[in-house]
Amino acid sequence: MNKSINTFKELAEVCQENNKQIYEVTQKYEAELADITEKDIRQIVKKSLDAMKESIKNGLQCKEMSISGMCGDDCDRLQKKYQTEGAIFGKTFEKITTYALATIEENLRMGKIAACPTAGSCAIVPSVLIGVSEDFNISEEDQINALITAGTIGRIISTKVALAGAVAGCQAECGVASAMAAGALTQMRGGSISQILNAVALAMKNLLGLTCDPVCGLVEIPCVKRNPFLAIHSVTASELALAGVESKIPLDEVIDALEQTGKLMSPLLKESSQAGLATTKTALKLKQTLFK
């Protein structure tokens, strides 16, 4: 393999022609590109996986607020709630939502996280991948496979759309992270290439238009709560895809729509904090207090 795969159609064709999974195609390509072994690639990915697990562990144990004082103790609140009253959807739901808050709050505290694909969306893939793996006894090898697949999904999308809120809104950050998590989870659960790509499409197309309007210009409100919400969103996409539900719009066309939506979105809603939630009365009062 000597050329980059830049569309999901190309990815599916290469996987089919070589009878390989997405992660197998990717690790071979990346190894050839970097002139290292596939084992080396897997070790690099394992470091990211370990960092994700460390972020979750640290976040679950900490209640330190962010410098702004606006966020930092929501994970603790959620854990206490689950200690006395379990979640409607069960233990795995509890893990995903608490792990997501734990990770994103570590980001607020300037702790170590793995940007996946960005710092503001860093909790979505880890919470889904690790939460499900723990409850369904998924091996570390399979977790690495899933993370490689998630990375491939993000890379292909990034060939058309910069994964930055300032360029295309939060659809390009938390939206893409949710799509990455949906694909990774579907693979971990034994989904076919078609089901994996349909999970990505289902997750992505239902988040088109998601704006980036951070209060006070900080990656806190609404970013913190958005991570657990969109982690669960990715699980829904995976469930649908594994049931045989297909996106009527092909995945590459969904990414075209993502690109177009980003271009049409007002600059005021792309990380500038000049519209949306950032300019509500309460948000402006918070800004005045914080930056006086």
Q: What six digits make up the tokens of 49? A: 């996986």
Summarised one tens digit per residue, pLDDT across range 201-215 is 999 999 999 999 999
Residue 146 has pLDDT above 60, yes or no: yes
Query: Which stretch of DSSP H or E encloses residue 81?
Result: helix 74-84
Residue 1 has pLDDT above 70, yes or no: no
Q: Residue 4: pLDDT band by 50, 70, 90 thresholds? A: confident
Percent of the chain with pLDDT over 90: 98
Write phi, then psi, for 271 (nearest 5 degrees): 70, 5
Summarised one tens digit per residue, pLDDT across range 225-270 is 999 999 999 999 999 999 999 999 999 999 999 999 999 999 999 9
* CA pair distance 144, 133, nearest whole angstrom: 11
Residue 181 has pLDDT above 70, yes or no: yes
Contact 239, 219 (CB under 8 A): no
The three-state secondary structure class of 270 is strand
* CA pair distance 216, 193, nearest whole angstrom: 42
Q: What angle is formed at CA 191 by the lines to CA 185 and CA 195, rounded to 5 degrees? A: 95
Summarised one tens digit per residue, pLDDT across range 36-84 is 999 999 999 999 999 999 999 999 999 999 999 999 999 999 999 999 9
Query: What pLDDT, on a 0 to 100 scale, did the predictor assign at position 51?
Result: 98
The three-state secondary structure class of 228 is helix
Kindly report the average pLDDT of the chain as a whole number.
Answer: 97
Residues 6+ apart with CB under 8 A from 25: 1, 5, 11, 14, 15, 18, 152
- pTM to 2 decimal places: 0.97
- How remote is the C-alpha of 102 from its chain's centroid? 14
Average confidence (pLDDT) over 266-289: 97
Summarised one tens digit per residue, pLDDT across range 149-170 is 999 999 999 999 999 999 999 9
Query: What pLDDT, on a 0 to 100 scale, did the predictor assign at position 292?
Result: 80
Residue reference for tokens 């939206």: 175
Query: What pLDDT, on a 0 to 100 scale, did the predictor assign at position 2?
Result: 52
